[in-house]
Chains A and B, each alone.
Chain A
Amino acid sequence: MTDESRQDNPGDKPVDPSFLDAVGNLADGTPVKWDAALAGTPDRDAALRQLQRLESLLSGHRTVARPADVPPVVDQPVLFTWGSLEVREKLGEGTFGEVFRAWDPRVGREVALKLRKPGASSKDTRRWLDEARRLARVRHPNVLVVYGADEHGGRAGIWTELLHGRTLEDRIRRDGPMGPREAALIGTDMCSALAAVHAAGLVHGDIKTTNIMREGAAFSETPPDLRSTPGGRGEAGRIVLMDFGTAVARSGAPGDDPVRLYATPLTAAPEVLDGKSASVASDIYSLAVVLYRLVTERYPIEASSLEDLRAAAKSGGWKSLRDVRPDLPAPFVQVIERALAPSPSHRFATAAEMERALAATLGAASASVSPPARRRSRPRTAWWVAGLALAAAAVILWRAGLFERDRAHVPWATASDAPVECRLVRTFSGLEMYSSFGFVLEMADINHDGFQDYLVGAPHASGGRFYGHFGGPNADETADLTLAGDDTADQFGRSICGSGDLNGDGLNDLVIGEARGRTGKGRVHVYLGTEPFDATPDLVLLGEDDYDHFGVDIEDLDFNADGFDDIVVGAYFNRENTGRAYLYLGGRFPDATADMVFAGEARGDGLSNSISHGDLNHDGYDDLVMGAYWSDAGGFDAGRVYVYHGGPAPDAIADFTFDGAAGDGFGNEASASGDYDGDGVVDLVVCAFSNSTGGYQAGAVYGFRGGTTMDRLPDFVLVGEKTGDQFGRTAVACDVSGDGFADVVVGAVDQDAGGPDAGRVYVFLGGREMSDAPAVVLTGNAKGDNFGTLLATPDVGDGRGALLVGAHNNDFSFADAGQAYLYTFEPRRRVGN
């Protein structure tokens, strides 16, 4: 080594021994004796600063990657970790648990973490977690955002957005009673929030002024007519319903549990005081108490004992609002008093009904101010939540069912009562180390013999490779056609499309993408169908810019309805990851000039990360569906899906969009190739692989019914089993079971049942009602396989449906060489048949 020869090498300078000891401790990860370390240093402040910087550097790196041989980090400003959350500060403690400020290093944000006190029964904990996860599905601007719920180290917890603001109780204590208008505005927000909570199958159970926060500025700075804005998270003044510590499932059978009063007595409805379960009606009553208190600073019933309170509440013995505050407008008083009716049946039937009544008072509450405009996004939000609620029960049942199946731990399994049987019929193996064989899959008849061929990409092989395995009665596991990128290729085989006929000669053409050439530009190679196959591409399509991943996905469809298939090529890194896609029209003599360009909306959106097609609006023409999974339209990294209607004069302007919620990555994959409800119209299946409903990045898959009146209400939501599963990294709708309904096949490449990141595939049978439980579950063979890229066909050529699944990091042949597996489906034979 010649490092000591440098003139300015600071390594030559002498170092104080006590300072060196402290550095040694930091390097080892053992506690530093600060006083001793600083005692002998000439410049105490400088030494302290240097050691602190070094400590932050070391602990930061250890937090990010903590290999087994590095000792646990001590002396860092993290109280403890819970899962991957770093708990930094205790914020409070209640009967049921403690609340902490924590840091989520995976997404780089502060969160509030509520941990249950240890000691709850496992049944109790599981139910609590289920309810917390259900709550996580409630996405509403006026409801606390729940990021997830889990159990670590024997403690169940829920983590949510960290709010900065004041409670309504603080507000009235500081500034006195509110005017009726301000209260009515808060009331409409709360009704809207409650409607969403109720639609999710939950009741809050403890609505009170200390559980509602106004985010942002101090109240004295808040103009009286400032209202919270929908979706305006982070804007000053947002009203947020929080503390769901007592929230319970609405559907819980009454009388199951010994009656316990969790709610605060002064705001509880009479029937709750009597020991009945909280309900929609009791939430409405409690909200009325809140509004009463906001305008009077008093409770409607003030009693010195629970018995007195019960008696007064039952008889409706509250002080009339008009008596306490004669200046209040009559309509406002009527709304509050109706909601305070002792009998639940005399109150508003729903929170939405109360909201309408409150909104109607706003004109009366302040004649000089016109009623606020109806909120643009709320009806949609409400529908969305309602849709999720419909699915919630099914999702939870499904997860419970799956849990049982986990224990069997077999490589693949078909539910014993499923009407189909799934068989592994062929295994294709990668032939090169790290080649990622199986990362890309396609089924198409490229040798034109009437049988589907199995096409597999190995984009990380040297230069990238494509393997074609011909199907039919003589099929085997050896590739019949191998294509490699030329000398300048890189990631050849990153996308494959083989079912289109671009030049209308009746023969399928093969299109292979190479997302990145060695020069940086992506290319797409088009091999027009010939007999025998000619391995020289007829066309090479070239990307616009270097490193824009042109060719990352390809789709064929007849977008302009001229009888020739067209191809769409994605470049999701184009224009600083805005993303673009290019349409090349087919014709007698197709050319390499793009005929239409679809552009992403904003930098970072990544439009065209997924491309699919199907006739979603049922007009007889193929529509194009593209995902932009990092779009921020619905919240940071929420993701957006665009539908472009095809027809004789199509354009590149989206006709319909769907948005995910923050962090969902909605649209990482979409499939518009099947009709799962059997109504004759293609439906849309959209993946949100980083959705955290079932745990951080457990993933979710949504189904939307296609048709002329397509809406954004999901028909079903399927949720991944566990944190990190990425359920929905891939999905396809296809009738593999042959019952006339498209089945939804979902891949979770990072699922851990077969070993860490072994991966899993689930087949849900379609039907008039989407099946609750997967009929077939396939599990990756070994850790790190990432089993779960997939493709399906309803008919391989002999009437059987088939599924091709890739495990691109499987080590069977060589490290990360990859494998692909072919499964066929048949109706289950009854015993004795």
Chain B
Amino acid sequence: MDRSLESTAFLLTRVRDGDEAARDRLIARYLPMLREWARGRLPGGARSLADTDDLVQVTLIRALKNLKDFESRGEGAFLRYLRQILLNAMRNEIRRASRRGPHDELGNGIPAVAPSPLESTISRDTMERYETALERLGQEQQEAVILRVEMGYSYDQIAEALGKNSANTARMVVTRALAHLAMAMDG
């Protein structure tokens, strides 16, 4: 099979043209990954697994329906776009599912809830610094960080997602991005 026919950028173009099969392939590619990603970020106890999956699925399907806002540049960019939409959707859900009242607000106005698995391991201060610092990086660096830190991509996979010619190059991009992220988090 011609790999370019399976690339995210190509599939996105097809989806925009109304190709249902391309849409299904993209869903099959990203749904499991985003489910895994979301499970670590939704507060423990507040939602059942089915609800998390439900939210991810609905968000992904909606994102694919609103592709006109998105300029496709490749897998890294698409994942960053999905991540942002999902993050917003989760913030809304968390706000609704809030069980501990309006005290102890996070920077984004998210009321405190039972900690998510991620919050249990990373302090809120670090998470807030991370999100702010990420915004300050360039697009490619943002993508590199998200793919490595959040999605757990290997350097091979990152090279493919970012269109780099080797895993070594991808590793350099990731390392530089993380170094700048670390400095921006301190700023």
A residues whose Cβ falls under 8 Å from a Cβ of B:
1-4, 6, 8-11, 13, 15, 19-20, 23-24, 26-28, 46, 49-51, 53-54, 56-67, 69-70, 103, 105-108, 433-434, 439, 460, 462, 490-491, 516, 547-548, 573, 576-577, 602-604, 630, 636-637, 668, 750, 814-815
Contacts and interface: CB of A to CB of B under 8 A. Distances in A.
B175 A11 contact: no
B140 interface: yes
B91 interface: no
Among A64, A69, A602, max chain B CB count under 10 A is at: A64
Contacts of A462: 61
Nearest to A46: B186
Given A108-B44, A434-B27, A50 B186 contact: yes
Contacts of B123: 56
Contacts of A573: 96-97
Contacts of B151: 67
B141 A3 contact: yes
Among B41, B50, B120, max chain A CB count under 10 A is at: B120
Interface residues of B, number: 72
A496 B179 CA distance: 54
Among A10, A63, A66, A604, max chain B CB count under 10 A is at: A10
Q: Which secondary structure dominates where chain A touches chain B?
A: loop
A27 B177 CA distance: 10
Contacts of B130: 57
Q: Can you list the 6 inter-chain pairs with the closest CB atoms, starting with the nearest? A: A3-B138, A604-B99, A64-B40, A60-B122, A60-B121, A50-B182
B110 interface: no
A66 B117 CA distance: 13
Given A10-B180, A50-B186, A577-B97, A57 B115 contact: no
A56 B122 contact: yes
8 contacts: A4-B138, A11-B176, A13-B180, A57-B122, A65-B152, A103-B120, A108-B120, A573-B96
A23 B182 contact: yes
A9 B37 contact: no
A11 B56 CA distance: 32
Contact of B148 (A27, A59, A548): A27
Interface string B148-187: 1111111001000000000000010011111111111111
A57 to B, nearest CB: 6
B137 interface: yes
A460 B55 CA distance: 11
Given A490-B58, A577-B96, A105 B120 contact: yes
B186 A53 contact: yes
A53 B182 contact: yes
B11 to A, nearest CB: 15
Among B46, B96, B177, max chain A CB count under 10 A is at: B96
B128 to A, nearest CB: 11
B97 A604 contact: yes
B119 A11 contact: no
Nearest to A757: B49
B65 to A, nearest CB: 10
B28 A815 contact: yes
B44 A69 contact: no
A491 to B, nearest CB: 8
B178 A636 contact: no
B118 interface: yes
A28 B178 CA distance: 11
Given A3-B139, A53-B126, A604-B46, A61 B118 contact: yes
B63 interface: no
B57 interface: yes
B36 interface: yes
A61 B98 CA distance: 23
Given A46-B186, A53-B129, A56-B126, A69 B139 contact: no
B81 to A, nearest CB: 15
A23 B141 CA distance: 14
Contacts of B117: 63-64, 105-106, 108
B98 A577 contact: yes
B93 to A, nearest CB: 8
Interface in B35-79: 36-37, 39-41, 44-46, 48-50, 54, 57-58, 61, 73
Contact of B100 (A19, A23, A604): A604
B132 to A, nearest CB: 11
A205 B92 CA distance: 52
Contacts of B180: 10-11, 13, 15
Given A604-B99, A630-B46, A630-B99, A66 B152 contact: yes
A272 B6 CA distance: 74
B96 to A, nearest CB: 6
Given A51-B182, A54-B181, 10 more contacts: A1-B138, A9-B137, A10-B183, A57-B122, A61-B122, A63-B121, A108-B114, A491-B54, A547-B96, A637-B45
Contacts of A69: 152-154, 157
B24 interface: yes
A175 B41 CA distance: 48
A31 to B, nearest CB: 16
A62 to B, nearest CB: 7
A11 B46 CA distance: 38
A10 B96 contact: no
